[in-house]
Every structure is written in C-alpha cells, then in structure tokens.
C-alpha cells in the first residue's frame, strides 16, 4: 500500500505527498541524536500521520477515486496544513528533549522492578479488567478500567527483565509460548481495549529486540502488513454480525476469523483481501474528517474560540465520582456532527482528531501552536519516564502515556483524559513499588543488625 501510495503521489505531482515522506526521513535523522533508543517512540507520531493523512488518502484516491488529488487546490492546502501541524508536533518534541541528558537519572539509587512485582501487576490488571470491570457502577468504571492496564504494563516489564538477563531468551520455546498465548488472548482486542494495548506493547518489545537483526525486523513488519487487512475485514464482519443480534449468537468471532482465513489464504480470494486493505485504509484515513471540518469552518467561520479545549480540561480533571452528572465524552461524535456536517449512525463514534479540533477552536494559528504544545508535552513525558529512578516502569508508562497523544482520529478530550489516567496509574504503581522496596530495605537492615548483635 505504501509503494502504491508513493507512486500515486509522484504521478499526481502532489508535492505534499513527497513532503510527508521527507518529514518521516527527518524524524529518522533527528532520532539519531536524541537519547531515546526505543524503536517507535520518535517515529510513531510522524509515521502514524503519514498513514492517516497521506498514505491512506493516496491509496483511497487510486482505489475508490475518493479525492481529486491533481485538480483540487483546497484539498492541497488542507493537506499542507495537516503536514505543518505534524511538523510542529515534531518540533515540540525536539524542544522538550533539550537540556539535561535524558540518560541521567534523577537519583543515583535506581529502583528496579522485580519479576515478582511485574507478575503481581499483571494479575492485578487481569483482576480489575476481567472480574471487577463488568460489575462496577459508572462512577467507578474509569478507575477499574485504568487499573486494568496493569496487565500489559506488568507483561512488558516481565518481558524486558527476561530480555535483559538473556538476549537469547527471545529465541527460546518459552518466549514462543508467550507470543502464542498473547496471539489468542489478543483476539479479544479486535474490538479494541486493554488487550489491544497489550498486543501493542508486545509489538514494541519485538521491534526493540528486532532492531539488532534486520532480517527479524523485516519479517515482523511483513507479517504485520500481511495479516492487518485480514484482521480489519474480520473486525468489520464481526461488527456487522453484532448488529444482527440473531446472527451474533450463531457466529462467534473465532468462526469469522477462520472463515476469512480460509477464504483469503486457502482459496486465494484476493477480492476479499483487497476489500480488507480498503477497509483498513478507510479506518486509518483521518484526512476525510479533517477535510470536512476545514471545509465547514472556512464556509461558516463558527469557531469555538477555545470552548471545546476548556470543556476537555474541565471534564478531564474532575473525576466522575465527584461529578455525578458528568457527561460521557469518550468516543463522542458531537464535533463530527456539528463541525464536519457528518451523519453518524446510532451506536457509532467518530472523532475528529487533534488537528481538526485545534482548527475548530481558532483556525491555522491554533493548529500550529496546539500541535507544538502537544509535542512538547509528549517529549517531556518521555524524558521524565526515561530519567525516572523506577525502571523499567518509567520507560513503559511514559510510552503508554505518549501513545495517548498520537491517535489522529481521537478528540482532544479523549487524548487529555487518556494522558491523565495514565499519569494517575503511573503515580500509584510507582508509589507502591518505592514503598515496597523501602520496606524491604529497612527489613533487610534490621535483620543484618540483629545478626551482628547476635
């Protein structure tokens, strides 16, 4: 899809298509002198934007003739503004990393999370997500949901500690069993949620290991590109089966997965596979909503003047347990309906993305300043996590928090809420680990003093 899209960019003389590629190249160059060594941390926001605003758009233009790339100057200017917004995001990140080296710890006494603590976190997350979450009242739902993230956090810490002890562990049967178990477990993530985050963390971990081997890295990326369209087709079929209540009880998710696999890979039905690619591109494409938002705002000039940002701040910082009538903003389609003139089907959520929401509040200036500020915040979070003395907790939760900022289809209220929830979880787990290590240190000192006395 990337090769087809780039070909379309050059063929249609779309200079912004080339500019997106150049921005990705700049990201790779900048990353070499930034003290961040996890693959995907620096590249994620830019490459995700390339997929969402450029690659998917170009593919849909060639596949479904959704956009007239060569003869629409408004489309061209809209794409350039999206590019400028992401360039400001990158500039904000670079600015955030200036100053003291990130590798330096704030305290010489680094607290390393143990494997036992990682396992405890994993099962605590499973307890909250599988046992508590389905039964808690709405006022406590977010709390239970946030603590459910302990499962992927604990898993990643366990994998990182194992890999630190023995690099060859990744090639052992034990790691293969973990991957197989997660592959089955993450089938539940076809509709999103904590399990999807777990799979994301595993993927980041694999990339971190695989960057030592170009062959392994190429194999992982190729497998991901091969199966992504099939899973997207599965997701759409599964949602359709749920909409038909009778059929949803007859056909399980496993049945649909096996049917798609049989149809595409065993019988060679490339039309079904191509359908999956198109659905994946439509799912990734954030340009359609952005184009509609800019068209509406330029015509009506009904800018929000910061209202949606203010509402997001109020909603994010006041927990539902203190605000009983707090409106549900997660996954809201209100902005898409009011500022993009979109007809949204009942039960469907459509976000406009941070670039669109900044434009809704004040036009081009807000896009440039807002994205730079968001990039600066993301860079500071990564820098703090890398510098924190509680590792690898700081590293993984800073990535979790940063990941909340790089979803092009998400409203600012969801971005801010996600960041606050991750910071809250980070603080709670960090307090527990530091206190636990302090108690163990005090107990060990007392035992040593007692032996010395005896």
> CB of 198 within 8 A of CB of 208?
no
Structure pTM?
A: 0.80
- In this predicted structure, which of 99-113, 128-142, 265-279 has the lowest mean pLDDT? 99-113
> CB of 41 within 8 A of CB of 385?
no
- In this predicted structure, which of 96-100, 131-135, 147-151, 326-330 has the lowest mean pLDDT? 326-330
Query: What would the pLDDT profile of 65-80 be if each residue is shown by its tens digit?
Result: 777 766 778 888 898 8
Residue 275, pLDDT score: 77
> CB of 430 within 8 A of CB of 73?
no
- For residue 280, the 8-state DSSP code is H
What six digits make up the tokens of 356? 């669109």
User: Tokens 């956090």 correspond to what residue?
Assistant: 153
- The pLDDT mean for the chain works out to 75
Q: In the predicted model, what is the mean pLDDT of residues 36-41?
A: 57
- For residue 390, the 8-state DSSP code is E
| Rg (alpha carbons) of the chain, rounded to whole number | 23
Place 376 in a pLDDT band, splitting at 50, 70 and 90: very high
DSSP 199-211: HHHHHHHHHHHHT
> CB of 196 within 8 A of CB of 186?
yes
Q: Which of 173-177, 214-218, 241-245, 386-390 has the highest mean pLDDT?
A: 386-390
What six digits make up the tokens of 4? 């087809």
* Residue 283 vs residues 202, 235, 409: alpha-carbon distances, Å: 22, 11, 9
Residue 412, pLDDT score: 87
From CA 398, how far away is CA 380, in angstroms rounded?
9
Residue 76, pLDDT score: 82
SS3 325: coil
SS3 111: strand
- In this predicted structure, which of 20-24, 171-175, 289-293 has the lowest mean pLDDT? 171-175
From CA 355, how far away is CA 83, in angstroms rounded?
10
């Amino acid at each position: 899809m990337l090769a087809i899209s780039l070909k379309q960019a050059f063929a249609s003389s779309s200079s912004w298509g080339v500019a997106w590629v150049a921005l990705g190249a700049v990201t790779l160059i900048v990353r070499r002198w930034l003290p961040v060594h996890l693959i995907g941390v620096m590249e994620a926001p830019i490459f995700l934007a390339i997929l969402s605003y450029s690659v998917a758009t170009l593919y849909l233009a060639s596949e479904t003739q959704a956009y007239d790339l060569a003869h629409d100057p408004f489309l061209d200017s809209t794409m350039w503004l999206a590019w400028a917004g992401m360039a400001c995001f990158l500039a904000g990140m670079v600015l955030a990393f200036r100053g003291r080296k990130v590798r330096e710890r704030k305290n010489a006494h680094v607290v390393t999370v143990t494997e036992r603590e990682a396992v405890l976190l994993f099962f605590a997350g499973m307890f909250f997500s599988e046992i508590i979450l389905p039964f808690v009242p709405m006022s406590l739902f977010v709390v239970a949901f946030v603590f459910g993230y302990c499962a992927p956090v604990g898993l990643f810490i366990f994998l990182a500690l194992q890999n630190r002890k023995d690099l060859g562990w990744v090639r052992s049967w034990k790691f293969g069993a973990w991957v197989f178990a997660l592959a089955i477990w993450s089938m539940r993530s076809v509709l999103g949620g904590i399990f999807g985050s777990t799979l994301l963390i595993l993927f980041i971990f694999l990339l971190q290991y695989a960057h030592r081997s170009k062959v392994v890295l190429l194999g992982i990326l190729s497998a991901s590109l091969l199966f992504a369209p099939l899973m997207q087709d599965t997701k759409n079929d599964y949602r359709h089966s749920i909409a038909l209540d009778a059929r949803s009880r007859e056909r399980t998710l496993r049945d649909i997965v096996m049917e798609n696999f049989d149809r595409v890979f065993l019988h060679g039905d490339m039309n079904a596979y191509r359908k999956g690619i198109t659905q994946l591109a439509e799912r990734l494409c954030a340009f359609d909503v952005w184009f509609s938002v800019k068209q509406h705002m330029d015509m009506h000039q009904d800018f929000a003047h910061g209202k949606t940002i203010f509402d997001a701040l109020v909603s994010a910082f006041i927990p539902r347990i203190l605000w009983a009538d707090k409106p549900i903003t997660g996954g809201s389609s209100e902005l898409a309906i009011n500022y993009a003139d979109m007809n949204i089907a009942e039960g469907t959520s459509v976000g406009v993305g941070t670039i669109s929401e900044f434009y809704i509040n004040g036009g081009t200036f807000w896009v440039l300043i807002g994205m730079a500020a968001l990039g600066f915040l993301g860079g500071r979070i990564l820098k703090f996590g890398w510098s924190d003395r509680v590792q690898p907790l700081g590293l993984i939760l800073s990535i979790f928090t940063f990941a909340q900022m790089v979803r092009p289809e998400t409203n600012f209220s969801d971005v801010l809420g996600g960041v606050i929830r991750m910071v809250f979880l980070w603080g709670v787990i960090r307090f527990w680990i530091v206190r636990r290590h302090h108690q163990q240190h005090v107990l060990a000192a007392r035992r040593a003093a007692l032996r010395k006395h005896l």
